[in-house]
Each structure stands twice: as structure tokens, then as C-alpha cells.
A and B are shown apart, each in its own frame.
Chain A
Amino acid sequence: MAAPTMDRSTTAAPATPVQTLTISKALNMGLRAAMEANPKVIMMGEDIGKLGGVFRITDGLQKDFGEQRVLDTPLAESGIIGTAVGLAIRGYRPVCEIQFDGFIFPGFDQIVSQVAKLHYRTQGKIKLPMVIRVPFGGGIGAVEHHSESPESYFAHTAGLKVVSCSNPSDAYWMIQQAIDCDDPVLFFEPKRRYYEKGEVDTTAQPGPLFASRTLRTGTDATLVAYGPMVRTALDAATAAAEDGTSLEVIDLRTLSPLDLAPVFESVRRTGRLVVVSEAPSESSIASEIAAKVQQECFYSLQAPVLRVTGFDTPYPPSKLEEEFLPDLDRVLHAVDRSLAW
């Protein structure tokens, strides 16, 4: 789906520690850094070698690390995940790329039956330090199965950890931290934000992986989002500020385990919470946050927790995705409803 490029030049080592990078480039550099740091780190996926992945996230890696560390695999997702399990048992740290969100389901059985449960089944005798990278979410005008947000399935499954980055700095650091983690990590990448730019300090000490982060402080209401919706939430906060409304924005970053302490703290101050996510709302990450917040912040809430999400439908034909996906106006509308309660 991404525009093809013939440019396969090797990423040069950063001349300066602080660079302006796209999310896709930051991921590429993070993967490279992880491969350099540990020879057991290998990449597996469809078209990730010569082509560099359909989104070019693994661009140049096979050229520099060889076909035994960047595997262009046969075209079968269960095979990618299932063989990664065996490689992880053998001592490797596989990083699997699922080409698009909607293609993870052939691998679902291996993920929930083996990846999630082997550590528990063996009571810690087998560790599966593997990462499953998933470009997810809509907004790219794609055909069916290329725009989904399946993160709730995995957050619902004990034994897996689930994270999502929203900016280049997190992309660079979180992918390396996920690879370092001894638990299997589902790593959701906001594909429509791949080309957004931001500063990355490659010498900085990153914060913990499984922690949410307050990106903007505010006093009137709290917005919680993750992945591609963080940008939408930040834009909504900027727009609201022009109207004199002060919104706090929290990037969840980790979906399992959820790190809601900053959300509870925020809601106790603002009394209002709007959760923003592209995924359908029924039985979702957004539902879980609403449940936990009402449990922990019951007496602080000035209004019910509201969710702004994709609808409870299959992902629609792309000419309708603008209506389907939460946008700045729908977020502000929910904020208004919360404030008017």
C-alpha cells in the first residue's frame, strides 16, 4: 500500500543525538539498534527483506544483517508466529512483522494458544521474548482488512503484553524495550502516522515501557488515547484551548498491562474523562478504562466516562472511513457533552 521506493541506502549512524525523524524511520533505527546490540535478535515477516517491508520499516536491515537475521518468510502468518515460538525457545529474540492488522488472524491460534501460555504452562521454564509488530488502524484509504484495530483481542489474553507508540521518540525507544522484554509483546504501530515527524534523542534515557504518559496538562477534562488517536487528542486539546477549555491529554502507550495511575490522578482533578480509540467500543480497551475509572474515581466524577471510538461495525469501505474514525470534532463534541453534564 505504501509508495514504493528504490532507495535502500543504509542508515548511517546518527551524527547528532537529537534528530528529527518520522515514526517509520525511528522504528527502522530502533530495530537496527536492537539488532546491533544483540545477535540473537532476528526479523521475520513477509516482504521485509529485499523490499524492506511494505511500509519500509525494515528497510536496509537484510542488506546489512543478512538473510539469516532478516527472514523473508513464506506467506502464512501462523507459520511466522509458530516458527518464531520455536526460535525463541532455541534462544532467539524474534521480531515478527504482520503486514497488516487484518492479517494477524491466521496467526491468532498460535498467539493465544502458545505464545501467551507457554510461560504459564511451564511455570517459567520457557520464556518467549518475541515481538509481534502490527501496523494498525485506518485512515489510509485501503481495501478491506488493511485498516483494523484488533488490539483488544490481545489485551484480553493473559500472558501477552500489548503496547502502542504514537510518536517518533517512543517508536525508537519502545521497539527496543519491547525486544528487550522477556514477555511476548504485541507492538501496534499507528500506520497512518508513520510519516509524522518528531524529535528523537538517541542518547536519552527512556522511561519505562509499560507506563502511560501525560503529554499535555489541563484542568477541565481528561482525554485518554493511544496510537494514532493521540495526535487527534492533542489537536482537539489545542482547538479546545482556543475556546478557553483546558484539556489534559494522556497517551496510554501500554494497553496490557494498563497503567492507569496517571489517568486516575488526572480524573480526580478534572472530574471528566473522554476515551478516544479507533477500535469498536464494545468490550474494548476504552470499555476497560471506563470500568476502572468509575471504580477508582467514583466520587470525583462530574460526568459519566464517555468513549469516542470507531463504530460497532466491520471497518467500512474507505470512502466512509472519515465518518467512521473519531476526529477532532467528535472528540470536542464529547468533551462538550461531558462539560455540560
Chain B
Amino acid sequence: MSSPEQWTHPEPDAAPAATAAKPTAEQVIAGLRATDEGGADLVQLLTPEGERVTHPDFDIDISAEELRGLYRDMVLIRRVDREANALQRKGQLGIWVPLLGQEAAQIGAGRAMRPTDMAFPSYREHGIAWTRGVHPTELLGIFRGTDQGTWDPVEKRFHPYTIVIGNQVLNAAGYAMGQKFDGKVGDDDGEATMVFFGDGATSQGDVHEGFVWAAVYDAPLVFFCQNNQWAISEPTERQSRLPLYQRARGYGFPGIRVDGNDVLATLAVTRWALDECRHGNGPILIEAFTYRMDAHTTSDDPTRYRLSDELELWKLKDPIERVKVYLVRQQWADQEFFAGVEAEADELAENLREFCVNMPDPPAERIFSNVYAEGNPNLEAQRDEFLDYVSGFAGGEH
């Protein structure tokens, strides 16, 4: 299919292409390029150029205030993401998982949820966390190594970040079954669950089993797959022969592909899907077609496996820019508004920075705390022995 020459990468100092070339079918199949074509089934309400378009099945009646709110969410969470990325570069975080490019997918999906709905994230869901009222400072400890997420998952209805790919899909299916068993499904006041995972996760057995379980038990579960085209170095074509949303059909529930860079379309489709679920018509799969604009994590080097052309192409589909264009064109926002959001973002970033550099290391006892709900005398003895050993050093530190 491809000769070895095709796999070589541009020299690091090669000038970026003036105009981004569309990936060829051969490049996509060879795994050299991710496709940027969502296809005919892609639900879109706001084009990359900021044109409001209609869709026969999905539409949304959005107020100026609501759209300004979505814009603000996206700008702020992008700033959080860039700041955290910088904090990693400065050695303040061990690692960061960038969401750059996926702001619309996450804000659109997150804002479609009600407080009574439950969310199960993977580990890139900083935008979802934001919509659930989890402050970005609460994410930092995971990546600094001081904790594993400090928010209350029950209060926020936002499960801990799950790092093993796909595990949370089954946990979410079980939770959604519980909502149904509790009689919380079937009318306008019903509850629903949404689980987040990526294109790579769709190859995991747990995701497949989650599809099976949710379908068999009619669980009120929205599977929200952010197809950002890359699972570290592997394009979606390494995970599936057919578009991911089409997999749902085989499990007996609807699958919809939405423009994940279009916050309006994502909000509309996700709101619809959650409503279907809360009325007892779940589960539903949403594939948010988007793009990971940065590396997989700060430890990753995407120049080894993808071409910068692709990035240029997706820059033209920026999720924030199109909303800004639309807001201006509609005269729904003025310069004062945009400047205000920027100032708010600056302040948030500064708070984040300040908070991060002042995070204390946890005490040694933390190693042993909360391993069990009802304790373990052998572990307690091991802890006491270690703490006794530590206290033997001058000043109690070793």
C-alpha cells in the first residue's frame, strides 16, 4: 500500500506548507494522515467560517447570552490547558494531557448535561470537568503527583479521571443501569449518564462490553467518543474499518457523528441524546469528529508520526474562532466582551500558576491512607513501622 519512502518525515527545519494539502485516500489508508472529512452524515450547525447552517434533524435555539457563555467556556478552558502545558514545561507538572482543539466537543457535551446527570471521563476531559464545576486547580494534583484528583465525584457527579483505556465505559454502564433500577428514567425529569472516551478506546474490550451491557439493559447512557484522529501515534484507521459512529448500529442503538469543533452542533446533538436517554430511549453513541491539535501528552512528539500539513488544515476549523466570527456578525458581542473574557482568562491562568507552584507535597502517611474503607491491621503495622523509621531521622525527614 505504501512504500517505505512514503513513511519518511519532513526535515525538522522544512518550511511549513503555504497552503495545507488535503490528505489523499492513500495517505489516510497508509496511516500517514488522518482524514479531515466528516462525511455526509456529519451534523454541523456552525461552519468553520462562522456561517450558521441548519440540519433537518438537529437544530438549536440559542440565545446571545448562551452563546457568549459557550465562547467564554472555551476560551477559559483553552487558557487553562495552555497554562498547564507551560507549567509542565517549567517543571511544575510531571506531565500534562492537552485538550487543545477539543474545546467545542467538551464544552458542547458538558453544557448539555444537567446537574443530576452523571459523567465518567477519561483523562483529557478538562473541559467536561469545567462544566461540572470542578475547578482546574483540582486537576493539577493528578499531573503534579500530589494526589489522584481531589473533587468529590458524588457531589460533582463527575467520576475520577480514568487512565486505563476504556475501563470507565463499563463503570458508566453500571451506573446508568442503577439510574434505571432506581426508577429515575422515563420522563422529563429523568437522569442520564455520559461516558467519555477516545477513538483508540473503541478497540478495547471494555468499550465493546459497555455497548453490549447498555443495550441489553436499555441503560440511559450516552457514549461520547471524541474522535481526535490520533491514539498517540495511531490514526483512527488503525482502530476501525468503518466510521466509528456506524458501529452503534451493530449493537442496536443510534450512532451520530457530529462536528466536534462545532460547539452548537455538539450541544444540540448531546442534549438530544441525553433527553432520549432520560426518557428511556438509550443508549446512544455520539462520535464527535475533532482533532488533537497538540501532542498526546507533554511526553509525546507528534512530529515523528504526523505531518504538519494536517495541523494547518485543522487550524482552519478552529472551534473558538468560528463562534467569535458568528458572535461579531450577529452583533451579539462587542470588543468589550471579548476583552473581558481575555482578562478573565489571564486571571484564571495566573491563579492556576500561583496555586500550582504552592502545592505542598503530601505527607508520607498519605501512601497508606484510604487503601481500605474498613482498615487493614497488617497495613497499619507496616505504616507504623515505616513512620517510626522515618521519625528516626533528624527533624523527622529522611
As a 0/1 sequence over residues 189 to 230 of chain B, the CB contacts with chain A under 8 angstroms (1 = contact) are 000000000000000011001101100100000000000000
User: In the complex, which residue of chain A has the Cβ closest to the Cβ of B380?
Assistant: A257
Q: A76-B212, A86-B175, A90-B178 are in contact. Are A183 and B374 (CB under 8 A)?
A: yes
Interface size class, chain A:
35 or more
A121 and B175 form a contact (CB under 8 A): no
One of A42, A86, A182 near B170 (C-beta < 8 A): A86
B179 and A78 form a contact (CB under 8 A): no
Collect the chain A residues with CB atoms within 8 Å of residue B379's CB.
Answer: 158, 257
User: In the complex, which residue of chain B has the Cβ closest to the Cβ of A126?
Assistant: B153
Q: Which of A15-23, A109-117, A166-174, A323-331 contacts B (4 or more CB under 8 A)?
A: A109-117
B320 at the interface (CB under 8 A from A): no
A119 and B216 form a contact (CB under 8 A): no
14 A-B pairs in the complex with CB atoms less than 8 angstroms apart: A74-B216, A76-B205, A78-B170, A78-B205, A82-B167, A82-B169, A86-B120, A86-B174, A89-B153, A91-B178, A110-B170, A113-B164, A114-B171, A120-B370
B15 at the interface (CB under 8 A from A): no
B154 at the interface (CB under 8 A from A): yes
Say whether chain B's binding surface is mostly helix, strand, loop, or mixed. Answer: helix
How far does the alpha carbon of A283 sit from the alpha carbon of B372 in the complex, in Å? 23
A86 and B172 form a contact (CB under 8 A): yes
Chain A, range 164-193, C-beta contacts under 8 Å to B: 181-183
Q: A114-B167, A182-B373, A183-B373 are in contact. Are A87 and B175 (CB under 8 A)?
A: yes
Q: Measuring CB to CB, which residues of chain A are less than 8 angstroms from any residue of chain B?
A: 42, 68, 73-74, 76, 78-79, 81-92, 106, 109-110, 113-114, 118-127, 129, 158-159, 161, 181-183, 256-258
A87 and B178 form a contact (CB under 8 A): yes
How far does the alpha carbon of A76 sit from the alpha carbon of B209 in the complex, in Å? 7
Of B162, B164, B206, the most chain A CB neighbours within 10 A belong to: B206
B173 at the interface (CB under 8 A from A): yes
How far does the alpha carbon of A86 sit from the alpha carbon of B179 in the complex, in Å? 10
B178 and A127 form a contact (CB under 8 A): no
Closest Cβ of chain B to A321, distance in Å, is 31
Q: Measuring CB to CB, which residues of chain B are less than 8 angstroms from any residue of chain A?
A: 120, 147-150, 152-154, 159-160, 162, 164, 167, 169-179, 181-182, 205-206, 209-210, 212-213, 216, 369-374, 376-379
Q: Which 3 A-B pairs have the closest CB atoms?
A: A86-B174, A82-B170, A90-B178
How far does the alpha carbon of A283 sit from the alpha carbon of B345 in the complex, in Å? 54
One of A76, A110, A159 near B372 (C-beta < 8 A): A159
Collect the chain B residues with CB atoms within 8 Å of residue A126's CB.
Answer: 153-154, 160
Collect the chain B residues with CB atoms within 8 Å of residue A88's CB.
Answer: 174
Of B160, B177, B205, the most chain A CB neighbours within 10 A belong to: B177
Collect the chain B residues with CB atoms within 8 Å of residue A68's CB.
Answer: 181
B171 and A78 form a contact (CB under 8 A): no
How far does the alpha carbon of A121 sit from the alpha carbon of B142 in the complex, in Å? 10
B173 and A119 form a contact (CB under 8 A): no
B174 and A125 form a contact (CB under 8 A): no
Q: A78-B209, A125-B153 are in contact. Are A109 and B178 (CB under 8 A)?
A: no
B378 and A257 form a contact (CB under 8 A): yes
User: In the complex, which residue of chain A has the Cβ closest to the Cβ of B161?
Assistant: A121
How far does the alpha carbon of A114 sit from the alpha carbon of B370 in the complex, in Å? 14
Collect the chain B residues with CB atoms within 8 Å of residue A79's CB.
Answer: 170, 173, 206, 209-210, 212-213
